[in-house]
Amino acid sequence: MGGHNKNYLQLRIAVKYKRKIVKLRRLYRQLNGTRLFSLLSIVAVIGLLANPFSSFQTAAKLPTKLQLAEFPIVVPTIKYGFALDTFQVMEGSIKNNQFLSQILENYHVDYQSVDKLATAAKDIFPVTKLRAGKDFIVLTKDSTQAADYFIYEPDVFSYVSYQLKPPFEVKKVDRKIETEIKTASGIIESSLWNTMIDNDLSFELASKMEDALAWSIDFYHIQKGDQFKVIYENQSIDGKTVGVGKVLASYYKNYDNEYYAYYFENKKHHGYFDGEGRSMQKAFLKSPVKFARISSRYNKRRFHPILKRVRPHYGTDYAAPRGSKIYAVADGVVTKSSYTRGNGNYIKIRHDKSIQTQYLHMNGFAKGIHSGVHVKQGQVIGYVGSTGLATGPHVCFRFWKNGKQVNHLRLNLPPPDPMPTEDLPAFYQLRDSLKIQLEAIPYRSFEQKEIDLAATNATNQSTSKTKKTGP
Ligand SMILES: [Zn+2]
């Protein structure tokens, strides 16, 4: 999940900057680019990538009639630990099946040097880890001579600088992640995901919010009009959001039920607690998949879609894309990881003397999952598929109690005990301050956004005298 989010985020960032870069290139072409301008554009683009939110500082150097102020350009002095303006900066991207020696050939670096570099890099960031499609930067003092440095960014969190001359110094530098407390809210229109997108929030935040509430909310019953608020750590590098840290507090209102989750830690506990200091971590998770939808419920008189006859359905089906992760709903020991024609690939876990859970139609098992293995609550045990008697990808989740399959959604499992009395005062203090912060977060509904947009348009059309009232 995390990987997808990050890729999605990076993709969004990449698309955003590509557009800006294209705009910039067009602009400099208009300037009938002399060498100075093309060099400037490279520096400017680097500056843009370095800090897209910085104030505009180079306007004075360029013709004013072009109104460049809309482009947040800054010429950096120091980046990757170098004073970039003292080098010629060249950009490129690694092609498929391209060796470092082939890339560096273009910058007059001989094979012997590349060989020494590869040896020097071995324990820091081996050159074999360079990936096709990734961008790099080459720094050179004199473009007719061998270049000085090759800089590669494996991800937004770090960069590697390779010195191309003796002593071939190789450095991997982790960028400083800034953490800032942010808040968000939303009113559900269709799904939690769509609401997150509408509010410009990430899937990572949705997922972490769901974790905070530990699925104590039946996310399969969320409805239009449900409300959520969240206080979380926003992580950024050079002003660019790169991820979500911890969710510190979350509020969710479903029908007339209000749920709170507060993050609290001391020497003995850490995790999410409700307003009374009870752990949000239930003995059993509500479902074995995230963001899934119930496609068929526990039903003793169900008409089977494949067998075309009434046959009891002793499980709850969660439909999810093929390959979605399946989680163990509680700690336990795997007693079966097997295949039958009906069940397809399935796993059975014993949780205590009376309770077992079973997961059917899996695409495959997670690495290391087999009979006899201990699993933790929330551990990935396999992936959604449609093996066995199944019409589409889903997990048929079965809950066994004293040897009988029961409807787990109807079970009233006892709430966990509150934390020990001596820890409660510290918890209550934290809870109260977080609750005040949660209450202060305003909602911005879909309708409100429409109104804001209309207001902006109305302001822009200052010449127009007529103004419509109402929606
Ligand atoms: Zn089923």
This model of the complex carries an ipTM of: 0.97
Taking the centre of ligand 1 as the mean of its atom positions, its distance from the CA of residue 323, in whole angstroms, is 17
What distances in angstroms separate CA 72 from CA 46, 55, 99, 450, one per listed residue? 12, 6, 35, 28
Give the pLDDT confidence score for residue 468 in this predicted structure: 37
CB-hemisphere CA count at 13 Å for 421? 0
pLDDT at 8 over 70: no
Give the tokens for residue 429. 């203090």
pLDDT at 302: 80
Q: What is the tens place of the pLDDT at every residue in 345-395?
A: 999 999 988 899 999 999 999 999 999 999 998 899 999 999 998 989 999
Position 99 pLDDT exceeds 50: yes
Q: Which of 278, 274, 272, 262 is nearest to 416 (CA)?
A: 278
User: What distance in angstroms lies between residue 313's CA and the mean position of ligand 1's atoms?
Assistant: 6
Per-residue pLDDT at 11: 38
* Residue that wins the pLDDT comparison between 199 and 250: 250
- How many Å lie between the centroid of ligand 1 and the Cα of residue 372? 25
Count of CB atoms situated within 10 Å of the CB of 268: 9
Distance CA 266, CA 76 (A): 43
Residue 303 Cα to ligand 1 midpoint, Å, equals: 12
pLDDT digits (tens, 9 = 90+) for 167-200: 999 999 998 899 999 999 988 887 777 787 777 7
What average pLDDT does range 262-266 have in this prediction?
Answer: 92
Burial label, 42 (beta-carbon count in 10 A; 0-12, 13-18, 19+) = middle
Q: What percent of the chain has pLDDT over 90?
A: 45
Peptide bond into 167 cis (omega under 30): yes
Question: What pLDDT is stored for residue 190 in this prediction?
Answer: 76
**What pLDDT score was predicted for residue 50?**
37
Please give the C-alpha separations between residue 302 and each of 297, 305, 394, 401, 407, in angstroms, as whole numbers. Answer: 9, 9, 17, 21, 14
Strand partners, 142: none
Distance separating alpha carbons of residues 397 and 413, to the nearest angstrom: 17
pLDDT, tens digit (0-9, with 9 covering 90-100), for 20-38: 444 444 444 444 333 333 3
CA dist 330 and 403 (Å) reads: 18
Rounded to 5°, the CA angle 51-53-58 comes to 75
Residue 338 — very low, low, confident or very high, per pLDDT cuts 50/70/90? very high
Q: Which residues are CB-neighbours of 409 under 8 A, at least 6 positions away?
A: 218, 286, 297, 298, 316
**Cα 357 to averaged position of ligand 1 atoms, centre (Å):** 13
- In the reported structure, the alpha carbon of residue 273 is separated from the centroid of ligand 1 by a whole-number distance in angstroms of 33
CA angle, corner 371, sides to 366 and 373, nearest 5? 70
Domains within the chain, CATH numbers bracketed: 2-174 (3.10.450.350), 176-279+419-471 (3.10.450.350), 293-410 (2.70.70.10)
Per residue in 415-457, pLDDT (tens digit) is: 677 888 999 999 999 999 999 999 999 987 556 666 665 665 6
Q: How high does pLDDT run on average in the chain?
A: 79
CA of 12 to the centre of ligand 1 (A): 37
Residue 335 has pLDDT above 90, yes or no: yes
Report pLDDT for 75: 53
- Strand ranges across the sheet with 240-254: 178-187, 227-237, 240-254, 257-265, 270-273
Measured CA distances, 355 to 179, 326, 381, 454 (Å): 42, 19, 18, 56
Query: What's the start-to-end Cα distance of the chain, in Å?
Result: 39
pLDDT digits (tens, 9 = 90+) for 105-155: 999 999 999 999 999 999 999 999 999 999 999 999 988 889 999 999 998
Tell me, in angstroms, the distance from the centre of ligand 1 to residue 312's CA: 10
- Cα of 452 vs its chain's centroid, Å: 28
Q: Torsions phi, psi of 72, nearest 5? A: -80, 80
Residue 222 or residue 242, greater confidence: 242
Mean pLDDT of 321-330: 94
What's the 345 CA to ligand 1 centre distance in angstroms? 13
Two tokens, residue 189: 């229109």
Question: Can you tell me the mean pLDDT for 10-22?
Answer: 41
Going by pLDDT thresholds of 50, 70 and 90, the confidence category of residue 224 is confident
3-state secondary structure of 351: coil
